[in-house]
Structure 1
Amino acid sequence: MSSNEDQETNGTAFMNAEWSHKVIAIISAMLVVIITIGSVYLFFDQRSFAREPMTPFTQANKVILPNYYKENMVFQQGKTITIQGKTSPNGTLTATLQSKTEQSSQTSSADDKGRFEIALPAPPAQLKAYTFTISSGNKVLRQIKHAYVGNVFLAAGQSNMEVNYYDYYNTESEERANLGNAADVTDLPAPINDTHVYFLVTDHQSSEQTQDNLPLREYNSDSWLPANTVNADYLGYLPQYFAEQLRSNSPKIPIGIIQTAWGGTEIARHMAGGDIYNNHVAPLKMFNIAGILWYQGEQDGMSDDMALAYQYNFSTLIQQYRKLFDNSQLPFLYVQLARFPGNDDWAKVRQAQFVVATNVDGKDGTAMTVSLDTDKGTNGIIHPLGKEILAQRMASQWKAINNNRTVPSGPLAQKAVSRHRGQVAEITFREDTANGLNVRRPNYSKNATSKNLSRATDESLTGFEVAGSDSVYHSAEAVIQDDTISVFSDAVDDIRQVRYLWSANPECDTLLYNSYHLPASPFTLSVLNDES
């Protein structure tokens, strides 16, 4: 072998050796990095497990849910879906809402008595159905093939919330009992036809003990019903038209209605511990909703004792319902009593409803709808017409609350102060309700709608009365001065009390409105002696 060949061979061997050393060094460095990262990972992973030990999987073989978990049910959008029920002791459950484009899933374990709670993030609202599944491992324990995410409302109270075609006007005898000579079925609003409004209706069954299930009507035994032409007659006029208003504004969001109203019932039965509350409201604990619709008080207006207790009871009920649904700002929309022949107890309930409305600032989610101008002249019957008008007003209030806007309300009197040595009472109103005070003439004809319900007039404002120290009331003149009203009467030199439309069945040619074209609530106020 030549010397050149020897040098070439030695050079190649040297280069191979040098390359081998470099490869070994690189591999060694990589191993150090891998080991270091692995050690750090294991360190933090072990700390994580030390803080939150993994719950072992336990196969569950059954699941029991509240009976309102049915086909076509609606879950509240934008809120965690809290699912409560019973299963096998310590059983591991997974709840899933899934459609072709969206999915939400969460796993939890029951306690040793089988009670469980799953907090499932709500997927987006949509018209297309989700499939709701509860499984344990690979075993499906319960499945609802058509479940929806939208806005859900509780429709509660008495018969003016409950009144529908099926229960109140379906036969000639029912029609006469509920309409008398004031109207006939052709004057009733046509039911809605919307397959994206789903509802449940409770039966007239109560319980002395708190229950987990609702006493559902037979037609809701299998599912929430869509409010189409076949089924809408089962749903109250007010809640179905409320749903229609929201659907017209947001057509891609389904609506769910849980109607628990029960005619002829006093408020105490609807409060926590009451026999209606126990099985109509308590079973809904932690089931998130978008708001409460309330129309009640007629029964309490039949007795002086119940009427005087109404303000306390009503304020307490609102707090109780918000606590049950774990939402201190839950929208609570209610209707003030309509006109109806009766005594002062009816007016006292209206006053209680007025005080509840004035005790909030318009920003806590509580809103009252005045109904004095909505009955289309049927104020002689306990279930007057005009529910679609009330629904429109309540829907406008809910939309304002939901969008953090000022809630539309009629003028709410706040204070009456003595002026001109007691000869005049100056009435001020809650600030957000005092803009554009004006006099309007209500339309009490059968063809009244939200658009033609009242018209401007140059006539005087009527319905005010004042009293002196003798507590004898006299008719009074009232003059609008910007955002206040001055009230006076030649019959009273020193005004101590002022009231407006203080009657169970006020008959007035003109009413006080504001810039929302909403009427003022009836009220009575003591006059403060404050010339300053």
Structure 2
Amino acid sequence: MNIVRILICYLFLFPTGSFAAVVDSLRIADALQSNMVIQQNRPFKVWGKADPGGKVGIHADWLPAPTEVYADANGNFMGIIPVPKVEKGDFTPHRMGVTAGDEQVELSNLLIGDVWICSGQSNMQFSVREMKGAEQVISTADQPHIRLLNVALNFSETPLENFKGSWQTCSPESVAGFSAVGYSFGKKLLDNLNIPIGLVFTGIGASSVQAYIPKADLAADTMLNRVYLQPYLADPKSTEPVDGGFSFEKVMRPYLLYNAMVHPLINLSIKGVVWYQGEANHLERASYVRATQTMINSWRRDFSQGQLPFYYVQIAPFFHDKEDPALAFDAYFREAQEKIATLNNTYMVSTLDVGEARDLHPKNKKPVGERLAAVALNRAYNQLDVVYQGPVVDEVEVAGSTAYVSFKPETLGTGLQTNDGQSPQFFYVAGDDRVFYPAKAHIEGSRIVVESNNVTRIAAVRYAFFNYPVTNLENKESFPALPFRTDTWEEE
């Protein structure tokens, strides 16, 4: 095809003049907008409304010819077009158009790259303007190859197709109100992959995991139905009309956030999901594990894009207004969170070392996002030289009043260290009486030696196993050691 024919074809697909005029019957989905990132190397759905039975043409400047589909009897249409794999450094702006009769909608300034959904409660919602080092982050956030979409808060008793929110080019102005964890995650991906990154935040502070699970999936699981769904359906609030306004009670209700803030996105092609949630459910154990794994499976099913990567964050240390190391309900919850990762293609990152014991919303969010990105680089992008794990206990050998803690070799990186040059903190030991005492610990090669003058025969070792430990033990790549306990004693 010579240059004249290319020009003629382009003018046919994208006529000059205003292309995105107000239209009567043609409407494309809210997720599809100018400035968005289109997921590379994956079939891309284009859906919306048109005249029932009418022909709809879908044009993209990377396709040689338009794709044509027909709206059904209700006026719904969906076309699927191929999207090429993007090469490193390719930030070419693209255009896509949809036509129906004499109506036309154009999307411009599109990039082809990878799209990640960022979801959860307040520590994921926590904005860039609130984070540690915000001024520096914002001043350098002129990143036109990152695109941001904030899905507006809403609730619905039934699944919705529409939402409010607009795709924006990342700039100091647009990034300030975006998720600090999400942006830190996307920025590290951009820096390492050199491809466009799209970030979609859909979540709200104080929200519970059950709020993000479809009603039918809650009903189908005996435990989830009993713990979450039936208590809500028995509450008179379940019969009241639901509006879009925030309340701490409403964000705990089952399935309403899924219907309003996840379901409208399920036709969008994505690369994966990053998730930071748990504080709202922190007194739960087995039901939370079941609920989160059910949520992951339901999202994977509804997005219909295979076993999507799902990387999540363990809750940060917090003292709950009580400085008592005997209080360990959050530690048991962190232990439960680890079990979520028994589901395939999931992984948990720790924040114990960057938390703030007296602040439920620690401000040091950059390491959290970057750790999620390290997981993605290694596991989703096959950069196997990228370290993404902190030390995970493998074996504990006991000799009287001394314990030797070994870690899984693949989690050690290039070795153990502490981030402050001091001895490792927050090791506790107990004898058969189950009374725990603080223990001394030091690094010996690739293991930790733990000793106590209070216990003559160690029966159990615990590390960072209480509500609010801000830890210093890590590998030399600065990934913190995960909390653990060697006992199986029941939680009091």
Bin the TM-score by the shorter chain.
0.7 to 0.9
2:136 paired with 1:196: no
Equivalent pair of 1:479/1:487 in contact (CA under 8 Å): yes
2:286, 2:127 → 1: CA distance?
30
1:314–1:525 distance in 2 versus 1, CA, 3 Å: farther
Partner of 1:25: none
Change (3 A) 1:103 1:237: farther
Among residues 279, 289, 300, which one is paired with 2:270 in the alignment?
A: 289
Q: CA, structure 1 residues 520+187, in 2 after alignment: closer, same or farther (shift >3 Å)?
A: same
Task: Determine which of 67, 86, 93 is the counterpart of 1:129.
Answer: 93
| Counterpart contact for 1:437–1:480, Cα < 8 Å | no
Give the Cα separation in 2 of the matches to 1:480 and 1:184: 32
- The change in CA–CA distance for 1:117 and 1:186 in structure 2 (over 3 A counts) is closer
What residue is the counterpart of 1:260 in the other structure? 202
Q: CA deviation at 1:77?
A: 0.8
Is the CA contact (8 Å cut-off) linking 2:289 and 2:340 kept in structure 1?
yes
Partner Cα distance (1:436, 1:121) in 2:
43
Asked whether the equivalents of residues 308 and 348 of structure 1 are also in contact (C-alpha less than 8 Å), the reply is no
Contact 2:352/2:470 (<8 A) preserved: no
In structure 1, the partner of 2:354 is: 374
- How far does the alpha carbon of each residue in 1:125-163 deviate from its partner, in whole angstroms, 9 at most, with x for none? 442322212234x64543223332211111111112112
The aligned length equals: 417
TM-score of the superposed pair, with normalisation by structure 1: 0.69
Q: How does 1:300-339 map to 2 (within 5 A)?
A: 300-301=281-282, 304=283, 306=284, 309-339=287-317
| Cα distance, 1:439 vs structure 2 | 2.5
Question: What's the CA shift string for 1:368-389, capped at 9, x where partnerless?
Answer: 22222235xx542222222122
* Counterparts of residues 143-222 of structure 1 (less than 5 Å): 143-164=106-127, 190=139, 192-214=141-163, 216=164, 220=165
Counterparts of 1:436 and 1:184 in 2: how far apart (Å)? Answer: 29
The DSSP-based 3-state class of the residue aligned with 2:289 is helix
Counterpart of 1:120 (choices 60, 81, 91) is 81
Query: Which position in structure 2 is the counterpart of 1:8?
Result: none
Measure, in 2, the Cα distance between the counterparts of 1:104 and 1:490. Answer: 78
Larger radius of gyration: 1
Greater relative CO (CA pairs within 8 A, separation 6+):
2
Whether 2:460 is the aligned partner of 1:517: answer: no
Given that 1:413 and 1:429 are in contact with CA atoms closer than 8 Å, whether structure 2 keeps it comes out as: yes
2:329 maps to 1:345: yes
Match of 1:409 in 2: 388
Normalization by structure 2: what TM-score?
Answer: 0.75
Other structure's SS at 2:182 match: helix
Aligned residue number for residue 354 of structure 1? 338
Cα deviation for residue 391 of structure 1 reads: 2.2
**Residue 278 in structure 1 maps to residue 259 in structure 2:** yes
Distance 2:72 2:365 in 1: 47
Alignment of 1:444-463 (within 5 A): 457=421, 459-463=422-426
Task: Provide the C-alpha distance between the structure 1 equivalents of 2:293 and 2:67, rounded to a whole number of angstroms.
Answer: 37
How far 1:498 moved relative to its partner?
2.4
Q: Structure 2 vs 1, CA of residues 96 and 469 (structure 1 numbering), >3 Å: closer, same or farther?
A: farther
Equivalents in 1 of 2:307, 2:387: separation in Å?
17
Q: C-alpha root-mean-square deviation of aligned residues, in Å?
A: 3.2
List runs of 5+ in structure 2 lacking aligned partners.
1-23, 216-254, 321-326
The Cα offsets for residues 56-87 of structure 1, whole Å up to 9 and x where unpaired, read as: xxxxx944432122221221111110233343
* 1:313, distance to aligned residue in structure 2 (A): 2.4
**Residue equivalent to 2:434:** 471
* Partner secondary structure for residue 35 of structure 2: coil
Residue deviations 1:236-290, cap 9 Å, x none? 2222222222222344x22211111201112221223311111111111131112
**Between the two proteins, what is the percent identity of the paired residues?**
26
Provide the C-alpha distance between the structure 1 equivalents of 2:408 and 2:64, rounded to a whole number of angstroms: 46
Q: Are residues 319 and 495 of structure 1, via their aligned partners in 2, closer, same or farther at CA, if it must alter by over 3 Å?
A: farther
CA contact (8 A) 1:351 1:524 kept: no
Letter of the 2:106 counterpart: Q
